[in-house]
């Protein structure tokens, strides 16, 4: 068989364990992209992953890296502890879903970002709690039916979805904030670039990549319909954008150094 | 950031202190931790322990360590979990309500076998309570204060010098068993000034092949985790933890027996500040001819039962004196198992009992014993 060559294979940064994710779920794509970035940067021996509670609670089974499993919402705090303890050449990333990061872990993500912790947070936003059976998340869209919003998300009672990237972009210290999507090949290729940028900038400060993701099981849709649903419903509210990168800090990010002397 | 794990502490630290110093308890606790090799401190302000993080924020940068003021006690304990996972000596301190917030993270530390040290300078409760000295967290601390089947060593100093000595021991024990260790004090221990002597600065010599420092090609990945979805597997893990807890119970009991060798009529049972005050009361009572002694817990968990059991036969009655509403007495009753009378007296709400009150309580119990013949 002289003309057969390998054009695609599992990254050596992923173990051979089989993903437990549902068919059509994009966690598997996100895992692969991170593994490829770690592999291509040649930092497998210097990268420590922090895994969340949620569908990706078992991510430690899939990354062939040193891994710490965090409590629900606390991954940025755990990553902070690692970052402040490990040699500077290490890479620390936290992987979190939207219930984990934007609800129970809202405090930890904002303060880790605000301290400018030299970590990367990969944020999978699929607008629902997947692991616990499809409950309403802080990112659930207005009117969207979930097991705890059976009449659709009522914004008068539950407010509107939280836009994490935009919220973090009000802070001074993050160095990279971007939102991508995993719904079609061009977005997946772009998402990998965003992850790579975040890792490359990690030692300069806090880096954050939000990835719009699907939950066919929680949404009650086929995998293909889920991809369309994401683009049709999520992208208009969660625009795909690089919010923060070196040289393109918004006005709010201007460093402020007050004159602390008392006058008068 | 950028702590070099290979840099010996005694090279990094220009020791600022002569051998014997007059120090406030809270600051002595912090300095003792640093001299025990503590590299990272994570904490959130809460009275009455703020001198510990304040001292750490000034001192840790001098020794190549890191101080992080966390956004909450929930974050503190989880930062500690991350730092402990990296294999460095690290600690947090807080006071009662803060410990309640840390309880989930504390359970993770035990379940994932991450060594670290947590200081609880206890204050009056329940709820917001007040900031006055208390021992009201005795049961919460000694039962392992998180969820699930779990235990942790709890050390209870009664002087500033003992707090210094126990901090060093706490770090050693946490690494010996890969389990967090709690040091409990109260506002008095934290605020009082006493002369202290520090042991020479040490560097942890414990090998940590389990630490998540980055996976070299030469070993398998390290995973710090407490999730075991399969019931049989989790049971096996918990049994492994209980094998460790059993060794702690066998090997880490610590107590002080004070004037208990003459078949005492009454033995006061106490720890920390109350035990210290009880010694003053005992001197007065002894002068009055009442044979009274003191059983002082140094390890609140494991309960020092080997030492305690030697007292049950020769002692006529036990009196648990607490700054709480009858918590330690539950353990004393369990140990005595009905063989001798066990009574309780305590103050709560942050009220510190006086030695005069203790004298009166012991006299009252003594009259009762005499009357009963």
pLDDT digits (tens, 9 = 90+) for B297-354: 999 999 999 999 999 999 999 999 999 999 999 999 999 999 999 999 999 999 999 9
Domain that holds residue A92: 27-253
Percent of chain A with pLDDT over 90: 92
**Chain segment A160-219, per-residue pLDDT in tens:** 999 999 999 999 999 999 999 999 999 999 999 999 999 999 999 999 999 999 999 999
Task: Look up the CATH number of the domain holding residue A241.
Answer: 3.40.50.970
- State residue A249's pLDDT score: 61
Asked if A230 is an interface residue toward chain B (Cβ–Cβ < 8 A), one would say no
Does some domain include residue A175? Answer: yes
Phi, psi torsion values for A161, nearest 5 degrees: -60, 145
Q: Give ∠ CA A111-A117-A121 in degrees, rounded to 5.
A: 85
CATH architecture of B256-372: 3-Layer(aba) Sandwich (3.40)
Assigned domain for A15 exists: no
Residue range A238-259: average pLDDT? 79
Residue A96 lies in a domain: yes
pLDDT value at residue A162: 98
Q: Is residue A221 in a domain?
A: yes
Residue A174 contacts residue A206 (beta carbons within 8 Å): yes
pLDDT tens digit sequence for A80-114 = 999 999 999 999 999 999 999 999 999 999 999 99
Q: Of residues B10 and B294, which shows the higher confidence score?
A: B294
Helices (H), A51-104: 75-83, 98-99
Q: For residue B203, what pLDDT is reported?
A: 76
- In angstroms, rounded to a whole number, what is the distance separating the alpha carbons of residues A100 and A94? 11
ipTM of the complex: 0.94
Residue B214: what pLDDT? 97
pLDDT of A263: 66
pLDDT of residue A250: 60
Give the position of tokens 């001098």.
B62
- In this complex, which of A60, A82, A110 lies closest to B225 when CB atoms are compared? A60
Residue A22 lies in a domain: no
> Which residue of A44, A80, A87 is in closest CB contact with B215?
A44
At B11 the pLDDT is 43
- How far is B59 from B282, CA to CA, in rounded Å? 40
CB contact under 8 Å between B88 and A65, yes or no, is no
Distance (Å) from the C-alpha of residue A6 to the closest C-alpha of chain B? 24
pLDDT attached to residue B3: 37
Enumerate the domain spans of chain B. 9-251, 256-372
Provide the b/e sequence for B80-91 (b: ≥16 CB within 10 Å). bbbbbbbbbbbb
State mean pLDDT over B168-178: 97
- Whole-angstrom distance, CA of residue A84 vs CA of residue A71: 19
Q: pLDDT value at position B201?
A: 78
Query: Which residue among A48, A57, A78 sits closest to B227, beta carbon to beta carbon?
Result: A57
| A238 pLDDT more than 80 | yes
Higher pLDDT, A247 or B29: B29
Instruction: Name the domain count of chain A.
Output: 1
Q: Which strand ranges, in their side-by-side order, compose the sheet holding B317-322?
A: B255-258, B292-297, B266-271, B317-322, B342-346
Residue among A16, A44, A58, A85 with most chain B CBs within 10 A, to mutate = A85
Considering chain A, what percentage of its residues have pLDDT values greater than 70?
Answer: 96
User: Which residues on chain B are in Cβ contact (under 8 Å) with A84?
Assistant: 1, 3, 40, 66, 68, 79, 82-83
In this complex, is the C-beta atom of A81 within 8 Å of any C-beta atom belonging to chain B? Answer: yes
The per-residue pLDDT for range B75-111, each reduced to its tens digit, is: 999 999 999 999 999 999 999 999 999 999 999 999 9
Q: Is A85 on the interface with B (CB under 8 A)?
A: yes
A80 has a chain B CB within 8 A of its CB? yes
Give the architecture (CATH level 2) of B9-251. 3-Layer(aba) Sandwich (3.40)
With an 8 Å Cβ cutoff, are B83 and A50 in contact? no
Pick the range with the lowest mean pLDDT from B4-8, B171-175, B369-373: B4-8
Per-residue pLDDT, averaged over A46-60, amounts to: 96
pLDDT exceeds 90 at position A260: no
A-contacting residues in B 38-97 (Cβ below 8 Å) = 39-40, 42, 66, 68, 70-72, 74-76, 78-88, 90
């Amino acid at each position: 068989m002289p003309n057969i060559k390998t054009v695609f294979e599992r990254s050596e940064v992923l173990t051979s364990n089989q993903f437990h994710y549902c068919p059509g779920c994009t966690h598997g794509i996100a895992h692969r992209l991170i593994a490829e970035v770690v592999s291509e940067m040649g930092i497998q021996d210097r990268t420590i992953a922090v895994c969340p509670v949620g569908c990706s609670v078992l991510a430690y089974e899939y990354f062939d890296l040193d891994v710490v499993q965090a409590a629900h919402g606390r991954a940025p705090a755990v990553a902070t502890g690692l970052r402040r303890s490990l040699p500077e050449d290490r890479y620390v990333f936290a992987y979190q879903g939207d219930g984990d990061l934007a609800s129970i872990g809202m405090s930890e993500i904002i303060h880790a970002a605000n301290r400018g912790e030299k970590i990367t947070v990969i944020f999978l936003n699929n607008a629902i709690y997947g692991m616990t059976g499809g409950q309403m998340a802080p990112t659930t869209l207005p009117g969207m039916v979930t097991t705890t919003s059976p009449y659709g998300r009522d914004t008068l009672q539950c407010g509107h979805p939280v836009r994490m990237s935009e919220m973090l972009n009000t802070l001074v210290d993050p160095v990279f904030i971007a939102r991508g999507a995993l719904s079609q090949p061009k977005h997946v290729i772009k998402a990998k670039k965003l992850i790579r940028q975040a890792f490359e900038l990690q030692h300069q400060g806090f880096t954050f990549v939000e990835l719009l993701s699907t939950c066919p099981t929680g949404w009650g849709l086929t995998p293909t319909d889920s991809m369309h649903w994401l683009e049709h419903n999520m992208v208009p509210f969660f625009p795909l954008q690089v919010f923060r990168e070196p040289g393109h800090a918004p006005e709010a990010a201007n460093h402020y150094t007050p004159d602390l002397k008392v006058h008068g | 950031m950028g702590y070099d794990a290979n840099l010996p502490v005694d090279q990094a630290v220009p020791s600022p202190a002569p051998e014997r110093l007059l120090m406030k308890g809270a600051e002595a606790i912090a300095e003792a931790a640093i001299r025990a090799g503590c590299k990272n401190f994570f904490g959130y302000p809460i009275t009455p322990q703020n001198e510990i993080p304040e001292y750490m924020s000034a001192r840790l940068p001098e020794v190549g360590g890191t101080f992080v003021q966390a956004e909450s006690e929930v974050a503190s304990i989880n930062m500690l979990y991350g730092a402990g996972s990296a294999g460095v000596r690290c600690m947090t301190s807080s006071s009662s309500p803060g410990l309640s917030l840390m309880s989930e993270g504390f359970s993770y530390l035990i379940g994932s076998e991450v060594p670290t040290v947590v200081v609880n300078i206890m204050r009056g409760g329940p709820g917001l309570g007040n900031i006055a000295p208390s021992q009201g967290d005795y049961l919460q601390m000694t039962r392992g204060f998180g969820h699930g089947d779990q235990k942790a060593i709890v050390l209870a100093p009664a002087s500033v010098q003992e707090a210094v000595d126990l901090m060093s021991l706490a770090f050693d024990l946490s690494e010996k068993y890969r389990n967090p260790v709690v040091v409990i004090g109260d506002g008095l221990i934290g605020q009082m000034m006493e002369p202290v002597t520090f042991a020479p600065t040490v560097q942890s010599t414990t090998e940590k092949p389990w630490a998540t420092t980055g996976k070299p090609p030469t070993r398998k990945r390290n995973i710090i985790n407490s999730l075991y979805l399969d019931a049989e597997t989790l049971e096996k893990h918990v049994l492994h933890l209980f094998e460790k807890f059993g060794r702690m119970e066998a090997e880490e009991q610590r107590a002080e027996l004070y004037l208990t060798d003459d078949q005492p009529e009454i033995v006061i049972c106490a720890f920390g500040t109350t035990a210290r005050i009880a010694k003053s009361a005992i001197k007065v009572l002894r002068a009055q001819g009442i044979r009274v002694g003191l059983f002082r817990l140094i390890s609140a968990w494991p309960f020092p039962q080997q030492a305690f059991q030697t007292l049950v036969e020769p002692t006529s009655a036990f009196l648990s004196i607490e700054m709480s509403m009858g918590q330690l007495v539950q353990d004393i009753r369990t140990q005595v198992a009905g063989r001798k009378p066990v009574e309780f007296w305590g103050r709560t709400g942050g009220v510190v009992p006086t030695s005069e009150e203790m004298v009166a309580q012991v006299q009252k119990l003594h009259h009762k014993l005499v009357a009963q013949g």
